[in-house]
Amino acid sequence: MKRLYIVLFSTLAFTASQAQNKFNLLVGTYTNTCESKGIYVYEFDATSGDFKLKNSTEKVVSPSYLSVSANNKFVYAVNENGTQSAVTALSYDSPTGQLKVLNTHSSLGADPCHLINDDKNVIVANYSGGSIAVFKKNADGSITEGQQLIQHEGKGPNAARQEKAHVHQVVFSPDKKFVLSNDLGQDKVFIYKYNPGASHEVLTLKGTVDVKKGSGPRHLTFSKDGKFVYLVQELDATLTTFSYDKSGALKLIAETSILPKGFTGGTGAAAIKISPDGKFLYVTDRVDANSISVYQIQKDGSIKFVEQESTLGKGPRDFAIDPTGNYLLVGHQYTNDIMIFKRDKITGKLKNTGKKIDLCSPVGLVFTKI
């Protein structure tokens, strides 16, 4: 009898561990370049790297970037569509992967490209509009019309890309007291004090930090301990390390380039993320580079180069690391696929699995619990 209990317990434990290694992968796409329904939901097995399509939306316009609520019940998407751009709230049933549109409002600026949410607000970065828009959340997960619009003004030395402000990202500080925002057009990182309960003045400017002229700050991420910020600059492939303190202050520590020595092609640095264990930093580069660089994060916040690999496609706009840290998935905007790489958790290195998801113009990738 005791042996039977042990066998049953082992079987149940194995089944539970298998279930814990399955997640949903949500993918936002462009719908104006090829045939796409908008947002796709796949079940992803972080033990084997296998996947299967569970569900998709119908006729959601270019939901290029997604943000999932903390309770896993709602998804918020930008609708990147020029002057007709919007923000959409959707209910989300993770077991089935079903998404239902709750409502949609104007993003108050052209081409929103990034957004974040908490229990009170949805905050959106409008790239072409050069602005930040704030939407309050209703009790049912839907959003109000925009309650605050912050317009950035200014330009940079790159006449083709920095002719005006281009807000590229909004990020909560780890303690949620601040929102950081990168402006590619002005070569600045803006730090806003976050007042979540306010009706309209949700964000108030604390200060700005200048980065290298013409570099074009795109995306940043916080170290796991919240003491450092890593920023990638799109236009010249600079990777900048800052120290960060709880007063919302950034201090420049170091700069490096993600370009290999002697590289002369086009560059367009894109996404930057840290492994779940906080030990490795990954950065993608587009245009001619089409690569992903791997760095080991040292105890003092500095980074040590590990390797640079081809992403095996064109236009690695975004990538996601599954919550177990076993796999890294790279979405290619122009070759219409998501390549699946196996991660070595000890070295941080990547290995092509030979598996890929074929999908029209994948742009934003995010994992959720099932």
> Is 238 within 8 Å of 252 (Cβ atoms)?
no
Q: Check pLDDT > 90 for residue 287.
A: yes
Q: Check pLDDT > 90 for residue 2.
A: no
Q: Check pLDDT > 60 for residue 8.
A: no
pTM of the model: 0.95
Position 9 confidence tier, pLDDT thresholds 50, 70, 90 = low
Secondary structure, 3-state, the chain: CHHHHHHHHHHHHHHHHHHHCEEEEEEEECCCCCCCCCEEEEEEECCCCCEEEEEECCCCCCCCCEEECCCCCEEEEEECCHHHCEEEEEEEECCCCEEEEEEEEECCCCCEEEEEECCCEEEEEECCCCEEEEEEECCCCCEEEEEEEEECCCCCCCCCCCCCCCEEEEEECCCCCEEEEEECCCCEEEEEEECCCCCCCCEEEEEEEECCCCCCEEEEEECCCCCEEEEEECCCCEEEEEEECCCCCEEEEEEEECCCCCCCCCCCCCCEEECCCCCEEEEEECCCCCEEEEEEECCCCCEEEEEEEECCCCCEEEEEECCCCCEEEEEECCCCEEEEEEECCCCCCEEEEEEEEECCCEEEEEEECC
- pLDDT tens digit string along 156-166? 999 999 999 99
Position 3 confidence tier, pLDDT thresholds 50, 70, 90 = low
Mean pLDDT across the stretch 119-147? 98
Q: Check pLDDT > 80 for residue 15.
A: no
Name the percent of the chain lying above pLDDT 70: 95
- pLDDT tens digit string along 325-346? 999 999 999 999 999 999 999 9
pLDDT at 20: 82
- pLDDT tens digit string along 242-280? 999 999 999 999 999 999 999 999 999 999 999 999 999
Q: Check pLDDT > 80 for residue 62.
A: yes
pLDDT at 19: 62
Tokens of 54: 């569970």
- pLDDT tens digit string along 295-305? 999 999 999 99
Tokens of 345: 């958790």
pLDDT at 170: 98
Position 192 confidence tier, pLDDT thresholds 50, 70, 90 = very high
Report the relative pairing of strands 188-194 and 112-117 from DSSP bridges.
unpaired
pLDDT at 7: 46
pLDDT at 12: 45
Q: Check pLDDT > 70 for residue 114.
A: yes
